[in-house]
Structure 1
C-alpha cells in the first residue's frame, strides 16, 4: 500500500462537501459515506500491509505523502462537523499524526542535500501544507464548539505555518521545473496540488475571518483574497502542461496519483463558494458550481478507472477453473 493512498479519501470527502454547498445532498451523502468507509478500510489495509513492510519514513518523499492521512481526517471532520464525537476523534487523530510526521519531515529535510531535494520535489510535496491548513480548519471548528479562544489563535498559527511550508515547497518544485526547462514529460497530476494547497489555505482563512474580530479578521480577509487569486492564477499553466502531458501514449493510464488532481478541483470549488459568501462577489458562486461538476466528473472517471484496474489485477491473481493461473 502506497503512503499517499489516503488521497482517495481526501478527494471523495471534499467533493462531498462541494456537493452539499450547492444543494446536491444525495450526491453529498453518498460520497460522504464512501469517504468514511474508505478511511476505515484504508486504515485496516495499511495496518496489515505496513506491519509486514513499513514505509521508509527516512525518505522525504514518503514522509510528505503520508500527510494525506492528516488531510483525509481533516476533510472528513469538516464533512461530519455536526457529530461531536467524530469531530474530536478525527481532530485529535489528525493533530497527533501531524505532529509525528512533522518531526520526521524536519529531520529528513535537515539530513538531505539541496540538490537531492530539488531533484525529488513534486506537486505532492505540498501535502504537508495541505494537511497543516486542514488542521487549522479543524481547530477553528473545535474553537466554535468549545468557545476556547486559544484554539482560534492556534488555528491562526497553523494557517501561517501552512503558507510558509507552501512557499518553501513551491520554491523547491519550481527550482526543479526550471532546472528541467519545464519539460512536459515531467508533469504529473499531483502538480494540481500547487493550486489545491492555496485553495485549502483560502478555506482556512475564510473560517478564521468568520470567527475572528478586529484587525485579525481584516488581515485574514486580505490574505484569503490573495490566496484565492493566486490559486486561480495557477489554473491556466496547470491546464497547459496537463494537456501537453496528455498527448503521451501512457499518460492517461490510471494511477493512484490521479486522486491528487481531483482533490484540488473539489477544494477550489469549496474555497471559491466560501470566498463568494465572505466577499459578496456573487459571480464566484456560479464559478464554484461549474468547478464542482468538473470535480465530480473527474471523481467519477478516476473512481471507475481505479475499480477497473483493481478488477483486472484481481482476475490476474485468481486461479483458473482447473487450479492453474
Structure 2
C-alpha cells in the first residue's frame, strides 16, 4: 500500500519560519502607517502561519527528536523565536495583552535553548542567517518594550533594555563571522544583515518612547536609534544595488528572509520618525512599506507556483537533515 502524503508543510525547512516574521512585521508596518484593515488581514495570515509552524515544531519535538536536534543547531531555527515575538508585538498593539504576554513567555523559553544550540555550531564565513541571533534577541526586546508601554510592568521595559544591548553585541559578533561574498551570491537570507540593525533600531525607538528613560539616557537611546536606523538603511542600499547588479529572480524559501528585512526597515523608519520626531522619516517609511508589501506578494506567488508545479507534492519523501550552518537540506530546496 502506498503511504499517504503528509501535510504540505512537512517538507519545509526551518528557514520557512521567516514567512511568518515577514507577514507579522508587514502587519506592524501597515498599522504604523494607518492602514488598519490591511494590517489586520496580514495579522490573520501571520497568526495562521504561526499556528501551522507551531504544530510542526511540536510534532517534530515529540515524534522525531533527532530531526528536531539537527534543525535546532541551525540559525534558521531562531525564526521560531522571532516569529513568535513579532506576532506577540502586533497583538500587544492591538490590545490583546494576555495573548501577547503568553507569546512573550513562550519566546523567552525557546530563546536561550535555541540560541545556545546555534552558537555552539557557529564558524567563520557564515551566511546571512547568522544575524538571526541578533534578530531573535531584538524581537524579544521589541515585544517586552511594547508590553511595558501597554502597562504590563516597568520591569519589562528594563528587561527590554538588557535584551537590546545583548542583541547589539550579538550583531557585532555575527558581522565578524559573516561571509561578505553572500551579498552577491546569497539566495535571500543575506538581507538579514540589514534587517538586524533595523529591528535593533525598532527596539531602541520603543525604549526611547518609554518614560522610564529620561535626561542623558533618553538622549543616548535617541542617538542610538538614529545610528542603527542609518546602518540598516545603508545595508538596504548596498543589498538592493547587489540585487540589481546580479538579479536572482527564482524562488527560494530564503526569499522570505528578504521580505522580513524590507518590512522591518519600513517599520523601524516609521517608528523612529514618531519617537525621535525626525521629519521626512514617515514618508520614507511609507515608501519602504509598499516596497515590502510588493516583495511579499511576489514571494508568495513564487511559493504558490512551486507548490503547483508537477512533482512538488509535499510529504512524499522523508525530510532531509539540514546543513548545520544554513538550515537547508543537502540539495537545494524550492
| Residue in structure 2 matched with residue 322 of structure 1 by the alignment | none
Q: 2:307 matched to 1:306?
A: no
Q: CA RMSD in A?
A: 2.3
The higher-RCO structure (CA 8 Å, 6+ apart) is 2
Where has structure 1 moved over 6 Å in runs of 4 or more? none
| Residue in structure 1 matched with residue 292 of structure 2 by the alignment | 295
Q: 1:158 aligns with which of 163, 169, 183?
A: 163
Query: Are the structure 2 counterparts of residues 3 and 317 from structure 1 closer, same or farther at C-alpha, using a change threshold of 3 Å?
Result: closer
Matches within 5 A, 1:135-154: 135-146=140-151, 148-154=153-159
The size of the alignment, in residue pairs, is 300
Alpha-carbon displacement from aligned partner over 1:190-236 (angstroms, at most 9, x marks no partner): 11111110110000001111112232222111111110111111122
Asked whether the 8 Å contact 1:129–1:197 carries over to 2, the reply is yes
- Displacement of 1:297 in angstroms is 0.6
Asked whether the 8 Å contact 2:205–2:271 carries over to 1, the reply is yes
- Displacement of 1:186 in angstroms is 2.4
Partners of 2:201 and 2:315 in 1: CA distance: 47
- Displacement of 1:64 in angstroms is 1.5
TM-score (norm 2): 0.83
| Residue in structure 2 matched with residue 218 of structure 1 by the alignment | 219
Could you say what secondary structure the match of 2:231 adopts? Answer: helix
Asked whether the 8 Å contact 1:189–1:242 carries over to 2, the reply is no
Partners of 2:261 and 2:40 in 1: CA distance: 20
Alpha-carbon displacement from aligned partner over 1:13-36 (angstroms, at most 9, x marks no partner): 111111122222221111110000
- Displacement of 1:74 in angstroms is 1.1
Partners of 1:171 and 1:317 in 2: CA distance: 37
Q: 2:49 matched to 1:38?
A: yes
Partners of 2:152 and 2:65 in 1: CA distance: 43
Asked whether the 8 Å contact 1:184–1:244 carries over to 2, the reply is no
Q: 1:128 aligns with which of 124, 133, 152?
A: 133
Asked whether the 8 Å contact 2:197–2:228 carries over to 1, the reply is yes
Could you say what secondary structure the match of 1:4 adopts? Answer: helix
Query: Are the structure 2 counterparts of residues 316 and 63 from structure 1 closer, same or farther at C-alpha, using a change threshold of 3 Å?
Result: closer
Asked whether the 8 Å contact 2:27–2:38 carries over to 1, the reply is yes
Asked whether the 8 Å contact 1:187–1:241 carries over to 2, the reply is no
Q: 1:6 aligns with which of 5, 17, 29?
A: 17
Asked whether the 8 Å contact 1:187–1:245 carries over to 2, the reply is no
Stretch deviating more after TM superposition (229-238 or 199-208): 229-238
Structure 1 unaligned runs (5+)? 110-116, 320-325
Alpha-carbon displacement from aligned partner over 1:1-23 (angstroms, at most 9, x marks no partner): 31222100000011111112222
Structure 2 unaligned runs (5+)? 1-11, 317-334
TM-score (norm 1): 0.85
Matches within 5 A, 1:1-325: 1-49=12-60, 51-52=63-64, 54-55=66-67, 57=69, 62-81=73-92, 82-109=95-122, 117-119=123-125, 121-146=126-151, 148-173=153-178, 176-177=179-180, 182=181, 186-211=185-210, 212-246=213-247, 251-312=248-309
Stretch deviating more after TM superposition (293-302 or 37-46): 37-46
Partners of 1:225 and 1:7 in 2: CA distance: 26
- Displacement of 1:56 in angstroms is 6.3
Partners of 1:123 and 1:130 in 2: CA distance: 11
Partners of 2:313 and 2:197 in 1: CA distance: 41
Asked whether the 8 Å contact 2:127–2:182 carries over to 1, the reply is no
Stretch deviating more after TM superposition (272-281 or 156-165): 272-281
